[in-house]
Structure 1
Amino acid sequence: MKLKAPALLFTCLFPWACQAAEFHVDRYVVTFPQNDRVEYQGAYASAFPDGLPVGVGSGLQFVRKEGSDLIFATVTDRGPNADSPKAGKKDSKIFANPKFTPLLMTIRVGDGKAQATDAHALHDDRGPVSGLPLPEGLIGATNEIALDDTLQQLPSDKRGLDTEGITPDGKGGYWLCDEYGPFIVNIDAQGKILKQYGPQAEQGVAGGLPNIIKWRQANRGFEGITRMPDGRIIAAVQSTLDIDGKSKNSALFTRLVSIDPASGKTAMYGYPIDVEVYKKAKDAKIGDIVALDDNRLLLIEQGGDKNKEMRNLVYVVDLSQASDLSDFDKEKAPEFDDAEQLKARGIKLAGKKELVDLRKLGWQQEKAEGMTIIDNQTIAVINDNDFGLQAVLDNPEGSATKADDYEVDGKGHLTLNGKEAAAKIALRPLDEPESLNELWVVTLPESLK
């Protein structure tokens, strides 16, 4: 569905519907003509009588034009989940449908509509994979506790994936990236897993990538992926690495990891986050990346600033002068260096230049998680609607009015100060616009070339 604007919008009070600094935006809400829904028959099913909306938009790839229609490929993430209190010192997540399998889908934009169809479940030779976390102890595990909607602990899954980006493999299939491992995964056009890369380690699910990226923050693995014209695959770690639990709040950059599938050769580059605008460096998040040429790419940087205001900016990033961090990690991880120390070691981070501030164009969603280039003057961005699901605290006790005031015991209960509490974590629908999958087609004032 294309969002239409009242006549007053053309005064540019709401820039998404008009020319704003020579940008033009066509905004759509993604719909599902085949009535795709995620089954949900759990404890709070009465709040979701039709099931859950499918949450596409974790990645976006322009595929082709068919007449005037635009065809995109997209992926979901690990499935409908919601935040829940910690289990001791471990994070926990509620999985509304633990059997959900991440999906590859097609989005067609045309005739004023954006429609998602042709769902393919990600699978391997053993069948569909899941979105559940990996077992504790494996390289790639987030050490999260997976819970069902009654707060009972769920089993982990060595084949679990949390897909967050998509780019073509040049052979009719795609490369995906994942937040767990973090992994880089090659699939065919039907969603079958052909190859998987992950941090190299004895207890890992997959190898071939530099081991240092195992220090990604939990749920902050690879968030964007792109294939360069020369065939290299580059994946972006969402946020700063937390090496030995000591670097996430102070590192000046996050890592872009390159692998050449033909040779297996890897490299890593530092993308300099806008560290001065965040309360802590860990608050910066990458949304997606897409290649411009063999040295440049577009990158979404986003996150809450010092005033808790969301920012969503697209940068042109230049890797031509950036140092390969692999050459320096053996001495000391550059995440522990300040600007002067990086300079003294001869470490150069990538260059960057702002292309567009999505907020200034009227973007209201918290995150932009997918981005792709349509032509030299047009890009598209999309959000992930988190399957229209949120967790809320019911029946709080006294002054303990926030979910973080409690812990979960993995046996169906919330506890407060070590004692079982009457409070509950309930699942409820998200309100609009957060519950919507919005896809924007943005015409730029100048060519990307």
Structure 2
Amino acid sequence: MKRVFVLVLDSLGIGYSKDSVKFGDYGSNTLGHIIECCYKNFANSYGRNGVLKIPNLVKLGIINALKKSSKNKIFGFNKESKIIGSYAYSKEISTSKDTSSGHWEMMGSPVLFKWTYFKSLKNSFPLDLLNKIQKKFLINGFLGNCHASGTDIINIYGKEHIKYNYPIIYTSSDSVFQIACHEKSFGLERLYDLCLLVRKILNKSKYKVTRVIARPFLNDQKNQFYRTRNRKDFSISPNEETVLEKLVKEKKGEVISIGKISDIFNNKGITKQVNVYELEKIFEALYKELKNYSEYRKKNIIVFANFVDFDSYWGHRRDVSGYAKELELFDIKIPKFLSLMKKNDLLIITSDHGCDPTWKGTDHTREHVPILIYKKNLIPKYLGYRKTFSDISQTISNYLGLSKMKFGKKIIF
């Protein structure tokens, strides 16, 4: 029995990639700039003071990977630290810098086509598309229909939405159709039904949109509205077979998704979902799976977890201190995780894109990502510059004895 644990620190980029200039992200560096802000006390408003405290990630090689990737000085981490894991950094070959592209590529299905983007800042969604949705769902109108921050737009239109029950619709620089509705006045299940309908309409149309996202919220006053944890993503399926599907098909293995992973892959290749999202709850789910060594008997297993708050709560909101605190909390949880690992367990820590909280705007940033690999009795070493995130899937496929993936090269750790 072999198990692979893939932990995605959503948006933890480690320095701009060569093609970052095409995305307006030349100079971005999510982890590097967080370290710099902490070192220079730029983040003091949240009680931060001094060097970012991530000793366990340092031991796993995160700073070594950052040094290989980054062109910037790394404040407070100039001394060489003894490491226990192997490390690499990787560029992305997908055409975009969104969540789906990053996750799909690391599992062996890079996005080599163009997503549909709604580029108009106002009246973002085409009238013909909205007319189809209104006719099918029997609603009289929409609010918003623009590029917007999710927290801002519910404050702008929240009271009007409650009064008329018109869904609030908006997009971003990503290929997304987002719908915000009040959980009580509109109804959570009704919101999910609306998103599913939009997904079906998009699938049958010329619009190749990666995700329709349900964004439920609560409260009844401006500046008091808040988004709940009942977000749900309605994605299209990966265009190539992923290593998740391959494990289930070839070995009848188990793929356990924790967090929003099942949504990202439209449940393809997922055998068990654990729908938790806060960092501490995700780790509790991971600890539980680590302890369930005998439950699956001789089956090979992939446990795939996404830590979404790095991106949604701190990166997009450009909150350096919040991001730093979340990294330190993640770091505190690592020793228990490592102590529970068995002889044949493989740990891979990585990311899907950047979201530099010091960068202009609120969007993702095109960056390299770290690949940290740990196993009992591993001899630590540098694993090189990886030319695609798909090297992760090729490595997993080789480790679990599956057939070769179409993309990527195995990492010899």
TM-score (norm 2): 0.29
Report which of the two has the higher share of helix: 2
Report which of the two has the higher share of strand: 1
Structure with the greater relative contact order (CA < 8 A, sep ≥ 6): 1 or 2?
A: 2
TM-score (norm 1): 0.28
